[in-house]
C-alpha cells in the first residue's frame, strides 16, 4: 500500500508498506512489514519506466536515503523507477533491535532472527514484485551483501528478472567462512600497511591510544567500556575510498591533554553501528552459511594471525569486517541478544543460498563490478563464482574501493549499463 507521495530536489517519491510472513514456511503465521521508497525523476514520463530494485549492503542495513538528487540514484532514475528496499529488520521495515525483541527467550529470538537472511529478503522482493507488477519482470542492483541477495535471486527466481547488476558483491558460492576469513585477515593486514605508509604519523597515534586503553578504564558516552579490541574495529573503515583519511584525522585529534577527548569517543560511537544494526553483528557470518555452522569463524581464525594481537612485535593492526563473541558482552545493547547469537553460530542446517545448476544455464543478462583490492568481498572468490554464471559480464577494476557505487555512482552505473544493451 502507498503511504505517501511527495516531490523534492527533482525527485518524485512514493512510500510503500507491504505486509509479508515472518516465516514463508508458515504463511498464515506472524507477519512483519517491509518498507520500500520509490524514487523517479520528477517528470510525467517516469511512470512508464521499468523498475530497478536496490539491495543494500550489510547485512542488516537499511537502504540509502535520497537526500539529494545525485550520485548513482540520479543516474539510475534516467532509465528506471528505483525501489529502495529497506530489507526486513532494517530502517522502516519492522526493525530488529534489542528493544523490539524485548521479552523473547534466547531460543525464541534465535528462531526469529534466522528468518532475516538473504533467502527471505528475496522472498520479500518477490512478494512486492507480484503486488506491484504481477507477472512482469523487473531489474535489480545489488551492492556488497546486496549482490549476495541478487545472486540468490538469480538462483531461485530467474524468471522474475529482466537484468541484474552487481557492484562489489559476487559472493563465494560455496566457501566456508573459515577460508574466507583466512583471506580477509591477510587483506586487512595489507590495508593496515597501506594506511600507515600513506599517513606516516597514524601508527604512533594508534599505538598511543591502544596503550592508553590498556592502562585506563575508558568509557564511551553511552557508558560502554572502550576496550582495545573495540578500538581495533575502527579498521572497518580501511576498505572505503575515504576510510583511511577518515580514520587518520580521527586518530590525530584523539587526546585532550592526557585523556581521550569527548569528541574522539563520540566519533567512535558514530562510526560503529554494531549495536544500532544488530543483524550485521548477529547474522554476518550466517550470510555465508550453507548446511554448516560458523561457530564464530572470525574469532577462531584470528588465532592463526598473531600480528593482530596488541603489542605483537611492537606493532598495532586494526581489524576489519570481523565479528566476535566478546561483542555480546561489551556492547550493552547487544547483551540481550547473546544467547540467540550463540545459538545461531551453532546452527548447522542453514538452507542452500545458491544453485550452481541454475546459474550455469542462466539466461538473464547480468553485469558485475569486481573490485580488485576489495577488503570485504574477496576478488578471487568473486571470479570463481562468475565462472559458473552463464553469460555474466565482468568489469574488474582497481580504480575503486568497495564503495565505488557511493563514491562515483554515475560512472560505475554507466559502465555496467553499457555492458547490457
The residue annotated as part of the active site, out of 349, 380, 398, 418, is 349
Please state the three-class secondary structure of 85-149 as a single string: EECCCCCCCCCCCCCCCCCCCHHHHHHHHCCCCHHHHHHHHHHHHHHHHCCCCEEEEEECHHHHH
Backbone angles phi, psi at 233, to 5 degrees: -70, -10
Q: Are 229 and 302 in contact (CB under 8 A)?
A: no
Q: Are 167 and 405 in contact (CB under 8 A)?
A: yes
Contacts of 360 (CB under 8 A, 6+ apart): 388, 389, 390
Cα separation, 157 vs 126, in Å, equals: 8
From the candidates 139, 144, 155, 382, give the one annotated as an active-site residue: 144
Distance CA 417, CA 164 (A): 10
Specify the 3-state DSSP secondary structure of 303: coil
Helix or strand or coil: residue 256?
A: strand
Q: Which contiguous run of DSSP H or E holds residue 371?
A: strand 366-371
Cα torsion through 406, 37, 149, 335, rounded to 10: 90
Q: How many Å apart are CA 202 and CA 293, to the nearest integer?
A: 38
CB atoms within 10 A of CB 63: 24
- 402 annotated active-site: yes
* E strand or H helix at 199: none
Give ∠ CA 277-95-120 in degrees, rounded to 5: 95
Asked if 349 is an active-site residue, the reply is yes
Kindly state the cell numbers that stand for 245: 583519511
**Cell 518524485, residue?**
12
- Count how many residues are written for the chain: 421
Contact 354, 122 (CB under 8 A): no
Alpha-carbon distance of 314 to 112, in angstroms, equals 44
Give ∠ CA 188-354-358 in degrees, rounded to 5: 135
The CA distance from 138 to 38, in Å, is 14
Q: Name the residues annotated as catalytic.
A: 144, 349, 402
Amino acid at each position: 500500500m502507498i503511504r505517501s507521495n511527495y516531490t523534492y530536489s527533482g525527485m518524485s517519491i512514493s512510500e510503500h508498506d507491504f505486509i509479508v510472513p515472518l516465516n514463508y514456511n508458515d504463511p498464515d503465521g506472524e507477519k512483519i512489514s517491509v518498507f520500500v521508497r520509490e524514487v523517479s525523476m520528477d517528470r510525467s514520463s517516469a511512470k512508464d519506466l521499468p523498475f530497478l530494485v536496490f539491495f543494500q549492503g550489510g547485512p542488516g542495513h537499511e537502504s540509502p536515503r535520497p537526500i539529494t538528487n545525485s550520485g548513482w540514484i540520479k543516474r539510475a532514475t534516467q532509465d528506471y523507477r528505483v525501489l529502495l528496499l529497506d530489507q526486513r529488520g532494517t530502517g522502516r521495515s519492522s526493525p530488529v533491535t534489542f528493544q523490539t525483541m524485548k521479552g523473547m527467550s534466547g531460543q525464541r529470538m534465535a528462531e526469529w532472527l534466522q528468518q532475516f537472511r538473504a533467502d527471505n529478503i528475496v522472498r520479500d522482493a518477490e512478494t512486492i514484485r507480484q503486488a506491484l507488477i504481477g507477472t512482469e519482470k523487473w531489474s535489480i542492483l545489488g551492492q556488497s551483501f546486496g549482490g549476495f541477495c541478487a545472486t540468490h535471486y538469480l538462483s531461485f527466481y530467474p524468471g522474475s528478472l529482466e537484468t541484474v547488476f552487481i557492484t562489489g558483491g559476487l559472493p563465494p558460492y560455496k566457501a566456508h567462512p573459515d577460508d574466507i576469513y583466512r583471506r580477509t585477515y591477510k587483506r586487512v593486514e595489507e590495508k593496515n600497511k597501506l594506511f600507515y605508509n600513506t599517513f606516516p604519523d597514524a601508527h604512533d597515534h594508534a599505538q598511543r591510544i591502544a596503550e592508553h586503553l590498556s592502562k585506563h578504564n575508558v568509557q564511551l558516552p553511552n557508558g560502554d567500556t572502550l576496550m582495545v579490541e573495540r578500538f581495533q574495529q575502527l579498521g572497518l573503515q580501511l576498505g572505503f575510498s575515504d576510510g583511511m583519511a577518515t580514520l587518520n584525522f580521527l586518530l590525530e585529534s584523539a587526546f585532550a591533554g592526557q585523556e581521550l577527548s569527548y569528541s574522539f569517543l563520540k566519533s567512535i560511537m558514530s562510526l560503529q553501528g554494531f549495536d544500532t544494526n544488530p543483524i550485521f553483528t548477529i547474522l554476518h557470518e550466517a550470510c555465508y552459511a550453507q548446511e554448516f555452522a560458523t561457530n564464530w569463524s572470525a574469532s577462531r581464525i584470528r588465532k592463526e594471525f598473531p600480528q593482530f594481537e596488541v603489542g605483537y612485535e611492537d606493532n598495532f593492526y586494526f581489524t576489519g569486517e570481523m565479528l566476535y563473541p566478546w561483542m555480546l558482552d561489551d556492547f550493552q545493547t547487544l547483551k540481550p541478544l547473546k544467547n540467540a547469537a550463540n545459538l545461531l553460530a551453532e546452527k548447522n542446517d542453514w538452507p542452500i543460498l545458491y544453485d550452481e545448476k541454475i546459474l550455469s544455464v542462466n539466461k538473464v543478462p547480468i553485469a558485475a563490478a569486481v573490485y580488485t583490492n576489495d577488503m570485504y568481498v574477496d576478488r578471487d572468490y568473486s571470479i570463481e563464482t562468475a565462472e559458473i554464471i552463464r553469460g555474466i559480464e565482468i568489469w574488474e577494476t582497481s580504480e575503486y574501493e568497495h564503495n565505488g557505487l557511493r563514491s562515483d555512482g554515475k560512472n560505475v552505473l554507466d559502465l555496467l549499463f553499457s555492458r547490457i544493451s
